Structure 1
Amino acid sequence: LLADGVKYAFVSNSDNLGAQLDMNFLRWFAESGAPFVMEVTRRTEADKKGGHLAVRKADGHLILREVAQCPDADIPEFQNISKHRYFNTNTLWIRLDALKEILDANGGVLPLPMIRNSKTLNPRDPESAPVYQLETAMGAGIECFPGARAVNVPRSRFFPVKTTSDLLLLRSDAIAVDEDGKVALAPERKGKTPVVDLDSKLYKLVDSLDSLGLPSLIGLDKLTLRGRFHFQDGAVLQGTLLMENDSEETKEILPGVYAGA
């Protein structure tokens, strides 16, 4: 890329539907002289498990801390969105000459911390053999670039689809897609993202949503769903709702408005 005259790289997750190349941002990045910039945004309840920025006391460098790197005893503090206010959107801007220098100095790899995630061999069976997924986070590269910066961007530049909870929201009327394919909250939401928390034991995989149905979420603040449900067409959820079903039978939610506090 450098040989072809390319100076900058824009890197984003494929599951972040809000990440789009912004020419104004690119111009600022080029003029800033920063070798690496991470787009961050304010954490909400929906993002409390996401990696957040911190400052390393030893040298003042920005670093990224993921939940898998956090001791269990510190999880409540990790998820404190008032204390750790900014999280990594995984949208990165990188100056390629700076990247090459760091790669050359480290044998062709970035010296990133290893992350160990606990999984099960079969994601559909929580009782299957436990395994570890070893990975490095590309956002952790912020600690490798002296002079790296983070920029707080509008929430509209972060729309992830990592879980079935995210996918249910994406499919709902709380989300609008314009003619250019840009995904954004419906105008009626006034910039506030609904929080959807589905039962992870029952709705972990995409095909599990087929039996759930699709209620209206445009007036929703937060939905916590525990147990088996089916939302019939015309079911409208508003406010903050906790819906629980301890039975093995699926509970039918009939057409109508269901409003919480």
Structure 2
Amino acid sequence: MRTDGQPPPAIASFLHFHRLLETGATGLLTAAEALPVERLTDYEELDGYELSGYEYVDQALILKFNGGLGTSMGLDLPRCLLPVRDGLTFLDYIARQVSYLQQQLDRHVPLMFMNSFHTRAATLAALTAYPELRNGIAPDFVQHRFPKIDPATLEPAAWSANPDREWCPPGHGDVFASLDTTGLLDKLLAAGYRYVFLSNADNLGATLDIKILGYMVENRVPLLMEVANRTLSDRKGGHLAQNADGGLLLREFAQCPEAELDGFQDIRRYQFFNTNNLWAHLPSIKETLRNHCGFLPLPPIFNRKPVDPTDVSTPEVIQMESAAGSSISVVPGAAALRVPRIRFLPVKRCEDLLIVQSDVYRTTRNHRLVMNPKRINPQPRRAPTVHLDPRYYGHYRDLEARFPCGAPSLVRCLSLEVEGDVRFGRDVVIEGNVRIRNPKASPMLIPDGTVLDDNNS
């Protein structure tokens, strides 16, 4: 890591995780250690805080987690450059949301990306299309990188076919240490910035909200996690919990013992999930880093993955990672806020992308996606459940090939399940609960203008 140019805090963080791995630490949190949280402050209680938010917005910036590639959808490019809707990428939506915010507030709110060594060049090239966002603040920084670990020897893994695959980003839990070691944290503090709003680049609902900023300011919250009520579709996502002393913590799916997975997915017991929208008070983060040798000692996540993520047949390695939301258990005084679902609209799988591309959502003039009023009234006030056969729809190009004329109408769809190779024509309408099954090797075609519902699927 020294030869690679990684700074001392990154090396210390790696060694911290590696020692835990060597001593047999699993990184798991049992139900006895992760107790349910009953009551949180609600976003609906924040009326009036926008006054303080507007007063302090000059001290705020926006930071997007952008370390991942679109490999889960079969693309070898930054996830933020994935085409989402109307020919626009995540980055286009982010840039336009920030531009609109600046126009409405008549203030310049800097936008910054935390890139990995995989994503930086392409992301910065795409940002040149938005010169209005430049303001003298660096548009990005590159997070640290860790060696992947050979599970048999616990030594750094070797992969001569592509040495770059021997390294991995250590998860977005690395964000504050990387911001510090690059010198940007000190520069931001010197320039008068005190607050940062952090979120995933693929969350189309995550925008800077001056009510939440005002709440941070008036209540002197050092770190705030936005959480939302869990639904069945969120049952495998990280959930909020508390320890025996009442301190908040985050438990990810990979941190749950296998024997307790049913309890982890109990959405009545664990009501809130982490949206990964975080707010941080930069001076408090600086102090916490100083108290911990320049990095946050977050709970580890030991992920087992193929050394080449694009080829599942390659040898398995351990990637040592951490989640930014776990900072809630390390930063003294950290809190959580329940927010409406509109602030969480991620696109992780091809099913998510199909829903976002459909008429379930509309694009507002501030470049946010909101649910189509036809779906909200009457209910349900949620997106449909969509399951597409991963053999035929697992990758972005597969989705394009099978929906060549765009997404079908899903505004009145409750659920859609597609099994087998099915191609959809133009202006197809899906209503109610629809299951389409093609057991044949040859593709099935749904003709233009077809309406499918509970009665004819």
Give the TM-score, by structure 2 length: 0.54
Sequence identity of aligned pairs in percent? 41
User: Whole-Å Cα distance in 2 between the matches of residues 198 and 72 of structure 1?
Assistant: 26
SS of alignment partner, residue 200 of structure 2: coil
Once the two structures are superposed, residues 221-247 of structure 1 have per-residue CA deviations (whole angstroms, 9 ceiling, x without a partner) of 122223221111122111223333333
Partner AA of 1:38 in structure 2: M
- Give the conservation status (yes or no) of the 8 Å contact 1:10–1:21: yes
- Aligned-pair distance for 1:22? 0.9
Q: 1:246 aligns with which of 436, 439, 451?
A: 439
SS of alignment partner, residue 392 of structure 2: coil
Q: For residue 395 of structure 2, what is the aligned residue in structure 1? A: 205
1:63-82 alignment, distance < 5 Å? 63-82=249-268
1:132-143 alignment, distance < 5 Å? 132-143=318-329
Task: Give 1 or 2 for the bigger CA radius of gyration.
Answer: 2
Q: 1:194 aligns with which of 364, 384, 405?
A: 384
Q: 2:279 aligns with which of 80, 93, 111?
A: 93
Q: For residue 454 of structure 2, what is the aligned residue in structure 1? A: 260
Residue 260 and residue 193 in structure 1: after superposition, are their counterparts in 2 closer, same or farther (change >3 A)? same
Q: For residue 220 of structure 2, what is the aligned residue in structure 1? A: 33
- Give the conservation status (yes or no) of the 8 Å contact 2:355–2:383: no
Q: For residue 53 of structure 1, what is the aligned residue in structure 2? A: 240
Residue 216 and residue 118 in structure 1: after superposition, are their counterparts in 2 closer, same or farther (change >3 A)? farther
The more displaced of 63-72 and 85-94 is: 63-72
Q: For residue 119 of structure 1, what is the aligned residue in structure 2? A: 305
Residue 11 and residue 246 in structure 1: after superposition, are their counterparts in 2 closer, same or farther (change >3 A)? same
SS of alignment partner, residue 46 of structure 1: helix
The more displaced of 30-39 and 132-141 is: 132-141
User: Whole-Å Cα distance in 2 between the matches of residues 159 and 231 of structure 1?
Assistant: 25
Higher helix share: 2
Give the TM-score, by structure 1 length: 0.92
- Give the conservation status (yes or no) of the 8 Å contact 1:116–1:134: yes
Partner AA of 2:426 in structure 1: D
- Give the conservation status (yes or no) of the 8 Å contact 1:48–1:79: yes
- Aligned-pair distance for 1:204? 2.3
- Give the conservation status (yes or no) of the 8 Å contact 1:221–1:239: yes
Q: 1:151 aligns with which of 315, 331, 337?
A: 337
Higher strand share: 1
User: Whole-Å Cα distance in 2 between the matches of residues 134 and 227 of structure 1?
Assistant: 36
- Gaps of at least 5 residues in structure 1 are none
How many residues are paired up?
A: 260
- Aligned-pair distance for 1:209? 0.7
User: Whole-Å Cα distance in 2 between the matches of residues 121 and 239 of structure 1?
Assistant: 42
1:230 lines up with 2:418 in the alignment: no
User: Whole-Å Cα distance in 1 between the matches of residues 312 and 275 of structure 2?
Assistant: 29
User: Whole-Å Cα distance in 1 between the matches of residues 265 and 371 of structure 2?
Assistant: 24
1:217 lines up with 2:410 in the alignment: yes
User: Whole-Å Cα distance in 2 between the matches of residues 240 and 221 of structure 1?
Assistant: 5
Residue 83 and residue 224 in structure 1: after superposition, are their counterparts in 2 closer, same or farther (change >3 A)? farther
Partner AA of 1:245 in structure 2: N
Q: For residue 166 of structure 1, what is the aligned residue in structure 2? A: 352
